[in-house]
């Protein structure tokens, strides 16, 4: 990430100079003769980084109902005073927000990426992004974020939104000069909907921001976010990974036997039993895959009157079970369903009987 006062060299031209300002994806470079030249940020390379100003881009969190006590100093140099801890702060609450520089000029403004560390812990942070379809990540910020602080990670404009379709934040939490409970390091990847940056109603005030922002949870009460949203191309890639060289599905298949009347077929519909890797699949994608497996089993045995099939779906919120019962009512109305024996299959299993 190029910053003001960095010394840079041009990638596609001779020369370089000192960065005087950054405006979205454009940096302004002053050469040795004092002339300022606008250059796309991708066409410069940093050869000497500017010395960091500890408090220039940091501000204490101002939460309406918790965190910083009124007598906590508004800002302080790093490590020159003990951290004022709160009881709530012993759990990690980390937020990434996108704050418009000028909300009243949304079509032309630039935006700040802001990290909120609502905890008693120091965070060693790496913030990265990539474009959709790109398998290479680019680091946008690395550094140490103090407890109960907001930090501006970078500034970007509309021309940079394609590079921000996927963002990831990796952190390690710790305390200095005192004992503390360990927190698991985390890497959270989020998909950013670029269209929201063009819509005023996408921005809202939050518990951390009086001015409107787009806010994304990284960690809530020690639990890292695990979003399950993907695009269609990512789903296609994920499903293709399940196929071998001969294009046959690599997921675990139904075990077909020579059935006699009275034999029971058992199919576990837990997604972990059907797929080896569910990275990138949304909850809707997984439900559809489970229902496809249910339909496959039903079609395989629909002409076997008297056949009993046990579908193990788990208790959960009952979404899969209700979907199965709905499918039976609509497509196999002559089949009957009942709870399977909990002694044999546990709670969360449905037995279907095939009828003529």
Q: Domain for residue 2, yes or no? A: no
Distance of CA 179 to the CA centre of its chain: 31
Q: Domain for residue 1, yes or no? A: no
Do residues 96 and 214 lie in contact, with contact meaning Cβ atoms separated by under 8 Å?
A: no
For 187-197, the pLDDT digits (tens) are 999 989 888 89
Q: Domain for residue 86, yes or no? A: yes
End position of a domain, from candidates 194, 224, 254: 224
Residue 54 has pLDDT above 60, yes or no: no
Cα angle: 203, vertex 207, 210; to 5 degrees: 55
Number of structural domains the chain divides into? 3
Q: Domain for residue 166, yes or no? A: yes
For 220-274, the pLDDT digits (tens) are 999 988 644 444 454 455 556 554 444 443 444 444 433 444 578 999 998 888 8
- 236 & 349 share domain: yes
- 43 & 63 share domain: no
- 86 & 173 share domain: yes
- CA dihedral over 308, 311, 315, 320, signed as positive or negative: negative
Residue 236 has what pLDDT? 57
- The H or E element containing residue 214 is strand 214-220
- 153 & 81 share domain: yes
- 43 & 157 share domain: no
202: phi then psi, degrees, rounded to nearest 5: -75, -15
Residue with tokens 């020690």: 222
Q: Domain for residue 327, yes or no? A: yes
- 327 & 197 share domain: no
CA distances from 330 to 179, 242, 312, 334, 335 (A): 61, 30, 20, 10, 11
User: Which segment of 20-34, 130-144, 278-292, 323-337 scores lowest on mean pLDDT?
Assistant: 20-34
Show the domain range for 12: 7-48
- 97 & 146 share domain: yes
Nearest alpha carbon to residue 145 among 129, 174, 119, 125: 125
- 245 & 98 share domain: no
Residue 310 has what pLDDT? 93
Do residues 337 and 355 lie in contact, with contact meaning Cβ atoms separated by under 8 Å?
A: no
Enumerate residues 6+ apart whose C-beta is below 8 A from 337: 324, 325, 328, 350, 351, 352, 353
- 95 & 15 share domain: no
- 21 & 156 share domain: no
Distance of CA 54 to the CA centre of its chain: 29
Average pLDDT over residues 22-43: 81
Q: Give dist(CA 273, CA 301) in Å, integer.
A: 21
End position of a domain, from candidates 202, 224, 246: 224
Question: What 3-state DSSP class applies to 278?
Answer: coil
- 34 & 142 share domain: no
End position of a domain, from candidates 193, 224, 255: 224
- 155 & 103 share domain: yes
For the domain that residue 245 is a member of, what is the CATH number? Answer: 3.30.1370.110
Q: Give dist(CA 211, CA 114) in Å, integer.
A: 13
Distance of CA 189 to the CA centre of its chain: 3
């Amino acid at each position: 990430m190029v910053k003001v006062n960095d010394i840079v060299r041009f990638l596609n031209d001779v020369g370089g100079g000192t960065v005087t300002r950054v405006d979205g994806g454009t940096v302004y470079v002053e050469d040795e003769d004092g002339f300022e030249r606008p250059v796309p940020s991708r066409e410069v390379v940093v050869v000497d980084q500017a010395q960091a100003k500890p408090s220039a881009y940091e501000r204490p969190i101002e939460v309406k109902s918790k965190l910083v006590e009124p007598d906590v100093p508004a800002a302080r140099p790093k490590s020159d005073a003990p951290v004022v801890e709160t009881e709530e702060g012993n759990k990690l609450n980390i937020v990434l927000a996108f704050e418009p520089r000028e909300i009243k000029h949304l079509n032309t403004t630039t935006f700040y990426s802001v990290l909120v560390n609502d905890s008693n812990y120091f965070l060693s942070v790496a913030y990265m992004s990539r474009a959709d379809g790109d398998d290479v990540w680019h680091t946008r910020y690395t550094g140490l974020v103090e407890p109960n602080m907001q930090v501006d990670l970078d500034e970007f404009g509309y021309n940079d939104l394609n590079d921000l379709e996927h963002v990831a934040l990796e952190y390690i939490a710790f305390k200095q000069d005192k004992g503390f409970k360990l927190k698991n390091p985390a890497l959270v990847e989020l998909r950013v909907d670029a269209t929201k940056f063009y819509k005023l109603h996408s921005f809202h005030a939050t518990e951390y921001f009086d001015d409107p922002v787009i806010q994304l949870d990284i960690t809530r009460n020690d639990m890292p976010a695990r979003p399950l949203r993907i695009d269609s191309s990512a789903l296609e890639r994920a499903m293709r990974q399940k196929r071998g060289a001969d294009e046959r599905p690599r997921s675990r298949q139904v075990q077909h036997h020579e059935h006699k009347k009275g034999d029971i077929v058992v199919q576990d519909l837990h997604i972990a039993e059907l797929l080896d890797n569910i990275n990138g699949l949304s909850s809707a994608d997984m439900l559809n895959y489970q229902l496809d497996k249910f339909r496959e089993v039903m079609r395989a045995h629909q002409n076997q009157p008297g056949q009993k099939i046990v579908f193990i779906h788990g208790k959960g919120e009952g979404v899969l079970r209700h979907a199965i019962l709905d499918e039976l009512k609509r497509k196999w109305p002559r089949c009957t369903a009942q709870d399977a024996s909990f002694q044999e299959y546990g709670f969360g299993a449905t037995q279907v009987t095939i009828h003529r």
